[in-house]
Structure formats: structure tokens, C-alpha cells
Chain A
Amino acid sequence: MWNTVVSHLSSYIGWGLIIVYYLVALVYLFITEKRKERRIVFIYMPMAVLLIFINPLTAMAMKKYADDEVYYRLLWMLPVTITIADAACEAVIRLRGKAKVLVAAGMLFLIILGGRLIYTDDRFSIAENEYHVPQEVADICDEIVIPGREVRAAFPAEYLVYVRQYTALVVMPYGWDDLYVYGTDGSSTHLREELEKPTVSAEKMATEADNLSCHYIILSEDKPISGNPADYGMEEYSHVDGYVIYKNLSMDFTDPYA
């Protein structure tokens, strides 16, 4: 359990100095702050939270009753931002003249130096549309959706995260996490494995689409296919944003509003 505590603590602290600044702020407040309500909320409460966090019994209880993956979230109870800002401000207020400006600027510089700009995270990208999902996902979904009913479609792995955010009318034989497979025997993984092969077999693709009641299969236009999908009941339905949409003709496409 001690390993869990240490691992979560080190992962939480990460590569910056913000937690060090927080501890410095705590010590500063501990020395300078006389008001009881402030000492309780900004010094004693966080210390108690830290003691609770580093207690292996807490980690054990979390593992039993919740999920030990979220153990680090106990540290969210520490008012890090409020405390550092408050302590820094209190320190600045005590100064006069130019020293005030210099110290404030110096502390801001230290924060910048000790942290890391949020926008350097490479998971940020310029939004392609008002939904913040890849435009290909929106276009393909719009192409295959039948209002008022669900259709099942197998998407390339890179879009699995986005499809169901965009529309609930498209269901999928497999999601982004392989653990969540559709069907009773995990057979959807066969389709995914087939579609991820360097060359897709048209026959196997059609067979798996039938087995999983899949209305559509979406493949990159660059993906080599051995055999002609049309021979196995997979019609080349449409081309959208560099992807081919294959329609499984053995499925029912009744439009409830027609």
C-alpha cells in the first residue's frame, strides 16, 4: 500500500516545482499567520489531508471501496492555488515601493519557471469544427445516420473516441477500449483485427460484418483490400474525406420516418 501512496504522490507532483512552492507558502503562513480561521483552513486542514493521504490504511480503504487509480484525487483537497496566491500576495503587501513590484514580478517568474505552460500539451489542436471532433467523423456519421434509429458501423481506430460523442445513432461493434466488446464471445475483436491488417480480406470483412450485424464498415481509401467487397455483399456506398464507406447489403436499412 505504501507503494501506491508513493507512486500517486510522485505522479501528482510530476516534473514541476509548484508543490515545492506550496510547501514554502504553507511554512510562510505557519510562521506569519496569526488569525485562527486562516490557520485552520489553510494550514491545519491541508496538513491533516496530507497525513490522511500518506496513511497506507487510507490507500487500502480506497482500494476496497472505490478505485485506487483515483487515489491521487485526495490531494485535490489541498487548496494549492488559493494558498500560494494568498501567501504571495501577503508577502507583496508587506513590502513598499519598487520592492513590491520587483518581488511580485519575481514570484510570477518563479511560477512560470517552476511550472509548465498548459498549452504545451500535445493533445491540444486547433478545433476543426464547433463539436471539437475530427471533421471526418462528423461527415461520415452524417452520411450514414438514419434519423430515428441506430446503425452499427465499424470505424478506424483513430476515430473510436469521437463517434459516440458526436451521435448516439451510430453504435459500434468495438469501442476505443478493447475491454468493452460487443457480443457475448468477444467476436468483435476479430473484425477489428481484420480491419487493422496491412491488407484487408474482403471475404473476412463481409463475414465479420454479418456476424456482428454491422451496417457499415469504414476504411481508409489507401487501405489495400484483397478481393472485391461487392462479391460478398459489401457495396461501396460512399467516399467521404479520404474514407470509403462499405454498406452491408444483408442488413435492414428501414427508415422509420419514411
Chain B
Amino acid sequence: MSDSATVRVQRTMPGFGALLWSSVFKSSGLHRIGAMLLMLSILALSAGIFLNFDGTAGPSLMEINIPWIDSLGINFHLAVDGLNVYLLLLTAILFPVVLACSWSAAPSRSRIFLALMLLLELGLIGTFLSQNLMLFFIFWEAVLIPMFIMILVYGGERAREAAMTFFLYTLAGSVLLLAAVILLGVESLHQTGQWSFEFSTLYGLQLGWGTQLFVFIAVVLACAIKCPIFPFHSWLPLAYCEAPFAGTALMAGALSKMGAFGLLKLALPLAPQVSAVMAPAMVLLAVVSILYGAVLALRQDDFKRLVAYSSLSHMGYIVLGIFSFQQTALHGSLFQMLSHGLSVAGLFLMLGLLEQRVGASYRNLTALAGQAPRLAVVLMLFILTSVALPLTSGFTSEFLILFGAFQHGMATWQAGSGTLPLIATVIACSGMVLGAGYMLRFARVILFGKGSGLGIHDLKPREAVAFLPLLLLIVWVGVWPAPIMAKAQAAVTQLTAQVTDFKHPIPLLASPLKVEEKVEENVMNNGGANGR
């Protein structure tokens, strides 16, 4: 099993290259089919990896590690682990689904668009699978370019403004991240004697308070903008509304998960002490995001803006779960990444299909249930996932997050460390009511009422088939999450250990001889990094 899996991962990347090539340069009309086949083969590989991955196996089984710039410790190192296995599957599923839904839309006929989509998929999978920080950063930034062009070229009326805001904003967030990446490389040079950006090396470093703080701020800033969470969400409504619907679905479904993933992969393990100290503040931001997005979504007439704000609200849950440092909550956050990716992409795709059918007047659509019953049923299922109805993935994830956050809050309170996490969690629970409010209002406006007789075409078989994998996964996670949880269990255990081990006062004091030297280094490096 392990051998074949390794091979599969190894085949994934070159496969990309080949198909990119063919889709850009082939002059026949087959490029759309070619792109689809490529995406489907990636899906088949990823699904195989997902099903075979049992969590207990070390990360070495499904990885490729090719030295790239050896002297600087930058390797082309990709591997599947418990943290990224859901996201790999999510990305692999979303792309063919999105392409199938926008099959007949104008952009899908252009080779450039297909190439951009494939580039995007490459960047996303690369980001999620990277086991080397520098490689991670390169993929992280590389994702921006195709997305930027996609919005700019294929977007709506205000596409230029949206594309610029999105690009500059997220880029600005990442600048500090680069500084942090280099700083960590330098730290590794100091402590181990050679350059390394391998996560496995970096996790083992003893970082001082100042370094951790800098890394934490850099990572959180970059991730908070990507997610986004309040108050860094200003780019979101504009970008989500102006991008072509395929782009929006990918942005909301997959790109936003990069932010949450970054918090898990970088912030918690690299800056554990600072994370522990800053957790209440992050929890607060998360809860504000949940409520702020939900309340704003209550009164949005534009469906896309409504879903965009609901997305802000749902991303808040992920952050809440991450900064509760509790196994159940972490599982919940991982599920929420998957679940939100599925449901929000589904919602945006639905809106996109409607936009395709009736043009810009989709904003005034109503009474779909009478005119297009199959479409209405699928849309309702996505809405119910978003409402977090039991037996859908939305419930599994929100329940686990709130459950874990609450247990963490109670433990904190009883340990005498403040009631803020507890109160914040209880307030976050009210998001359940608001979520039902805005989503069902949406359902009432768009699905119910008296038919306007516009004659909306119902779902075509191709579209119906496209939504099937999303719905199946939603139901699987909703009904029987245990086997999926088992895949992430080892990673979650490791992550909580990384954070909670450091919760106690500064471990550097354990070796008094080195203290002076290290503190000095840290101060120096810190200054250096800030200067960059």
C-alpha cells in the first residue's frame, strides 16, 4: 500500500505539468475535456490517498523529498499527514466539480482560464502538502497570481478594483510572513549549524519569546487576511461578488482554508507559548467574526454578499476551534474546513448556475421550488449544511468545535485563569440561532413564493452529477465521522502536545548555561527581521 501511495503522490505533480502544457498549447477544442480528465485523475489519486491514509502511518509513507537548494535547506518536500489529508481531498473534489458546473460558461472555453484553474490547483495542493517552510511560502504566494488574473480578466463590472484589492491586501499580509520564514531559517542555522526550512527541524527549535511573538504576528496577520477573520475581511465581499462564479467557489471553498491551515501548521507549533498567551484575544476575534458576519448576513439582499458574510461567520468557528487547544475542538476545526469548503462552494456554484441561466437578474429570483424542483432540493441541502443541521457535516463540525471550546472554557475557568473563553464560547453558540435566521431567510426568498414564470431550467444531469460528490461527503461527515476522525487523530494529538507542553513557564530556563546566549541571539535576530 505504502509503495503505491508514494508513487501516486509522485505522479501527481508531474502530471500537473504535462496537462498544463497540453491545455495551454493544444489548438484543438479538446482542452476542456483534457483539463477535466486531468482534474479527475488528480481526484482519483487523492481519493485513493485519502482512503488509504490511516493516520497511524508516519508521514514518510506518502511523501516525496527532492533536494532543491541544498545549501539553504530548501527541499521539494511534500507529504500527506493528518492535518492536510482532508484539505487534499477537498481541493481535489472542488476543482472538477467547479469545472463541471461552469462547463458551458464562457470562461471555460478559454484555454487561459483552464490553465489558471490548474495552476491554482497546483498552488493549493502544494501549499497543503508542503513539509518545507520555504516551499510552503512559494506555493502560498503562487496561488495569488492565477486568482488575481482570474478575477481581473473574467470578473464582473468592478473586477479591476476587486482584483487589485484582493491581490495587494493578501500580498501585504504575506510580506511579514516572508520575514518570519527567513528569521526561522536563521534560527535553524544558529541552533543546528545549518540552514533548514524543513518543518520537522523548525518544530524542534527552541525559540525565544521575541522570535515567537514575531512569527506569531506575521503568521496570524497573513492567515487572518486569507481566511478572513474580522477586521481583515474588507476585501471579501467585493472579491466574492466580482469574481467569476467558478473563481468565487474556489476562493471561498479552498483558498480561504489556506488561512486556517496556516494557523494550524505554523502559528501553533512554531509559536506555542505566544499562541497560548494570545489565545483569548484570538478567541475573541473569532467570536466577533462569527457574530459580525452572521448579523451582517441577516439583511443582505444580494445573495452573493449574503453567502460571503456567512462565510466570514463560519471561518470564525474554525479559528475558535483552533485556539481552544482541545482535541475535540481541533477535530471540529478540521471538519469545518472540509464542511465549509463543500457547502460554501456548493452555494456559490448554485448562484453561479442561476446567473448563467438568467444573467444579472438572478438577484431578483424567487420561487425556485416551484419552477426547478431538483435545483431547489440541492440548494436546500447546501443551505441546511450551512445551518448545521444534524446528519450534515456542518453539524458535526460546529458541534465538535463548540463542545471542545466549551470544555476548554470550563477548564480555564476552574483553573482560575479567567472566564473569557467560556463566555466567548457561550456567545458563539448564539451563532446557531443567527445562522438559522439568515440562511432560512435566504431560502425563503430564493426558493419559496409564487412563481414569476421566468422559466428557469432545472438541473441538467451533468450538473446534478457534479453536485453528487459534495453531497455524499457532506452526508458521510455528518452521519459517521469516526473513520475520518481517526485519520487526523495522530496529528491532532501531536498538535495539542506541541501547544500544551509549552504552556508552562519558559522552557529555556531548563538549561541555564545557554540562556544568556540565546536571549541575545533572539533579540538580535528579531531586530534584524524587523528591519527587513
Pairing of A with B: no
